[in-house]
Chain A
Amino acid sequence: MAQTTLTNEQRLALYYWMLFTRSFDETMVAMWKQGRGLGGTFSQRGHEAISVGAAYALKPEDVIAPMHRDLGAYLLRGMTAERIFGNLLGRSGGVSAGRDANLHGMGDLGLQIIGFISHLPHSMAVSLGAAMSFVYRSEARVALTFTGDGASSAGLFHETLNMAAVWNAPWVVIVENNLYAYSTPLEQQMKVPAIAERAASYGMAGVTVDGNDVEAVYAVTSAAVEQARCGGGPTLIEARTMRMLGHAIHDGAEYVPRSLLESWEKRDPVMTYRARLLEAGVSDEAVLSEIAERVAAEVADAVARAEADILPDPATVEAGVYAEG
Chain B
Amino acid sequence: MGTGSNFGFADGEQTGDSTRELTYIAAISEALREEMRRDPNVLLMGEDIAGDFGGAFKVTKGFEAEFGARRVINTPLAELGFVGAATGMALMGLRPVVEMQFADFISSAFDSIVQFAATAHYRWKGAVPWVIRAPSDGGIRSGPFHSQNPEAWFVHTPGLKVVAPSTPADAKGLLLAAIRDDNPVIYFESKPLYRSLKGHVPSGAEALPLGEASVVRPGRDLSMVTYGAMLHQALAAARRLADEGIDSEVLDLRTLKPLDRPAILATARKTGKVLVVHAANRLAGVGAEVAALVAEEAFEWLDAPVQRLGGLDVPVPFSPPLEDAYRPNAEKIYVAARRLALY
List residues 67-100 of chain B with CB under 8 A from any CB of chain A. 70-71, 75-76, 78, 80-94, 96
Tell whether, in the assembled complex, residue B126 and residue A125 are in contact, meaning their CB atoms are under 8 Å apart: no
| Residues of chain A lying within 8 A (CB to CB) of residue B195 | none
Which residue of B76, B123, B158 is within 8 Å of A107 (Cβ)?
B123
Give the CA-CA distance A266 to B119 in the complex, in Å: 41
- Would you call B183 an interface residue if the criterion is a C-beta within 8 Å of the partner chain's C-beta atoms? yes
Partner of B87 from A63, A108, A126, A324 at Cβ < 8 Å:
A126
**How distant is the Cα of A323 from the Cα of B71 in the complex, in angstroms?**
25
Q: A129 and B86: CB pair below 8 A?
A: yes
User: Closest A-chain residue to B1, C-beta based?
Assistant: A137
Among B80, B94, B116, B182, the residue within 8 A (CB) of A324 is: B182
B124 touching A99, Cβ below 8 Å: yes
Interface size, A (range): 35 or more
Chain B 176-219: CB-based contact to A (< 8 A → 1; otherwise 0): 00000111000000000000000000000000000000000000
Is there a chain A Cβ closer than 8 Å to B20's Cβ? Answer: no
Cross-chain contact B94 with A133 (CB below 8 angstroms): yes
Tell whether, in the assembled complex, residue B91 and residue A323 are in contact, meaning their CB atoms are under 8 Å apart: no
- Assess whether B226 is interfacial by the CB under 8 Å rule: no
Cβ of B9 within 8 Å of any chain A Cβ, yes or no, is: no
Distance in angstroms from B82 CB to nearest chain A CB is 7
CB of B127 within 8 Å of the partner chain: yes
- Proximity bits, A95-128, B CB within 8 Å = 1, else 0: 1100110001111110000110101001011111
Q: Cβ of B89 and Cβ of A129 under 8 Å apart?
A: yes
B82 contacts A163, CB within 8 Å?
A: yes
Answer yes or no: A208 CB below 8 A from chain B CBs.
Answer: no
In contact, A133 and B80 (Cβ under 8 angstroms): no
| Nearest chain A residue, comparing its CB with the CB of B80 | A156
B121 at the interface (CB under 8 A from A): yes
Check B122 for interface membership: any CB of A closer than 8 A.
yes
Q: Interface on B for A, CB 8 Å cutoff?
A: 43, 70-71, 75-76, 78, 80-94, 96, 111-112, 115-116, 119-129, 158-159, 161, 181-183
Identify 17 new A-B residue pairs, CB closer than 8 A, beyond the known A127-B88, A162-B78.
Answer: A99-B122, A114-B88, A119-B116, A124-B84, A125-B87, A125-B112, A126-B85, A129-B85, A131-B88, A132-B88, A156-B84, A159-B80, A159-B81, A160-B81, A163-B78, A163-B81, A323-B182
Task: Give residues in A with beta carbon < 8 Å to B.
Answer: 63, 95-96, 99-100, 104-109, 114-115, 117, 119, 122, 124-136, 143, 155-156, 159-160, 162-163, 166, 320-325
